[in-house]
Amino acid sequence: MMLSIQDLKVYFFSDGRVARALDGVSYEARKGETVCLVGESGCGKTVSVLTILRILPQPPGRIMGGKVLFNGQNLLDLNEEEMQKIRGRRIAMIFQEPMTSLNPVFTIEDQIEEAILVHEKVDIEEARQRCIQLLKDVGIPSPEERLRDYPHQLSGGQRQRVMIAMALACNPEIVIADEPTTALDVTIQAQILNLFRELKQKREMSLLYITHDLGVVANIADRVYVMYAGVIAEQGEVAHIFHHPRHPYTQGLLASLPNRVKRGKTLHSIPGTVPNPAYKPEGCPFHPRCPDVIGTCRVQFPEMCDYGGGHLSRCPVLYER
């Protein structure tokens, strides 16, 4: 098991209120596997991965419990110095906004080389060669000339490629990509997705991919975790999730996807919005929006129900039917 998050609880304390952003989340990524974390914005996807790298702003966030096991080692037990050796070198991260995620006052070269130099003792010339090779790998044309550019001189897609190059700089064992294509144009999105697939084939690495786009999930994932309001609602292999969703939320999400069969009909939408993490409903967090709601949903937090083959869903109501 490469990376395994177990029963992670992260709360936010601000203005005298408690927002339970993560309420006991568990997921895992195996070696060489692509795992997708799906959910609406505000459901805790980003918080969970920031917690893995321990770069969650604290305060206001606070880790209330759980484990982050990386090759059997609990990252939450490490001190800051040991953690630094893992960040970027063994677990790398790519962020959502390529526009603001690169430091505007340093050149591309500076920023990629820094990722190498903080972890490895190599001389500057070698670092530069690796930098050029990385830029080539991520498909930036004429990398030698791009080295001296500042981020603002590149397009959004190119910046995201630079971010990816930076993440790959030390050959990490796992790359976490937090909605890397959300801020990009659709055509660029497709290119970046292809790049990810290509890189995965070439390198022995796991990918933890966060998105709210089910189309992307179908495209890239081996396994899927569906998150809702700080808990995992359903998990399983991509085929299971797409063909036999066992949770009303997943069903709702899939029903709202446009496809050929539904042409000409009104698209489905899930009523209501994601609850404010500071005012989560009692019982199942999804019950106010759920079409299958019954009395116990309002009082009792649902257990995971096993459908076999790694397919689990947090809805006893559908399980018993």
Partner 1 sequence: MKAYSENYFQKTGMERPLAPRETRWREGWRLLKRNRLAFAGLVIFILFFLIALAGLFLTSGTKPVFDPAVVRLEEKLRPPLSNAKLEILSSDRVPRLGLYLFGTDELGRDVFSRMLQGAWVSLTVGFVAVGIAVLIGILLGGISGYYGQNAMRADQIFLGAVLLLSGGLVLMGITFFGVVLLCVGGVLLVFFQWVKKRASKGVETAWTRFLWMRAISIDTLIMRFVDIMLCFPSFFLILTVVALLPASIYNIMIVIGLTSWMGTTRFVRAEFLSLRDQDFVTAARALGVSNWRIIFRHMIPNAIAPVLVSATISIATAILTEAGLSFLGLGVPPPHATWGNILSDGKNFIFDAPWLTFIPGVAILIVVLSFNLFGEGLRDILNPRLRERS
Partner 2 sequence: MLSFIARNSIQKVITLFFVSVISFLVIYLAPGEPSQVDPLNPKFTPEMVERFRQQFHLDQPLYVQYAFFYGDLFTGKTVSWKDNQPVLKKVWERFKNSLWLFVVGTLLTWTLSFPIGIRSAIFRGGMYDRSATFFSYLLISIPGFFFAYVLIILVVTTLHVPVIDMETFGLGDPPWYRWIMDRVWHLLLPSLLGATGGIAVLSRYVRSQMMEVESQDYVRTARAKGVPEEQVHYKHALRNALLPFVTMFGLILPGLIGGSVIIESIFAWPGMGRMAYEAILARDYPIVLTVNFISAVLVLIGTFISDVLYMVVDPRIRL
Query: Binding residue for partner 1 (CB under 8 A) from 153, 171, 276, 300?
Result: 276
**By CB under 8 A, is residue 97 in contact with partner 1?**
no
CB 229 within 8 A of CB 286: yes
Provide the total of helices (H) and of strands (E) in the chain, helices listed first.
12, 12
Where do the H-state alpha helices sit in 203-289?
Answer: 214-220, 238-243, 248-255
Which helix (H) or strand (E) segment holds residue 46: the answer is: helix 45-53
For residue 166, state whether it binds partner 2 (rule: CB under 8 A).
Answer: yes
Please state whether beta strands 231-237 and 61-70 pair in parallel, antiparallel, or not at all (unpaired).
unpaired
Q: Nearer Cβ to partner 2, position 160 or 251?
A: 160
Q: Is the dihedral of CA 92, 50, 160, 207 positive or negative?
A: positive
Residue 105 binds which of partner 1, partner 2, none (CB < 5-8 A, kind-dependent): partner 2
- In angstroms, what is the minimal distance from the CB of 278 to partner 1? 7
Binding partner at 150 among partner 1, partner 2, none, C-beta below 5 to 8 Å by kind: partner 2
Question: Is residue 164 a contact partner of residue 94, using CB atoms and an 8 Å limit?
Answer: yes
Among the residue ranges 97-105, 209-217, 236-244, 284-292, the one whose residues contact partner 1 (CB under 8 A): 284-292
Residue in 150, 242, 307, 319 binding partner 2, rule: CB under 8 A: 150
- Name the token pair of 116: 């190498």
The site partner of 251 among partner 1, partner 2, none (C-beta below 5 to 8 Å per kind) is partner 1
Window 265-284: contact mask with partner 2 (x via CB under 8 A): --------------------
Residue 61 in contact with partner 2, rule: CB under 8 A: no
CB contact at 8 A, 19 and 12: yes
Q: Tokens 């697939």, residue? A: 197
Q: Summarize as ranges the residues that interact with partner 2 (CB under 8 A).
A: 53, 55, 59, 80, 84-89, 92-93, 95, 97, 100-106, 114-115, 118-119, 150, 152, 163, 166
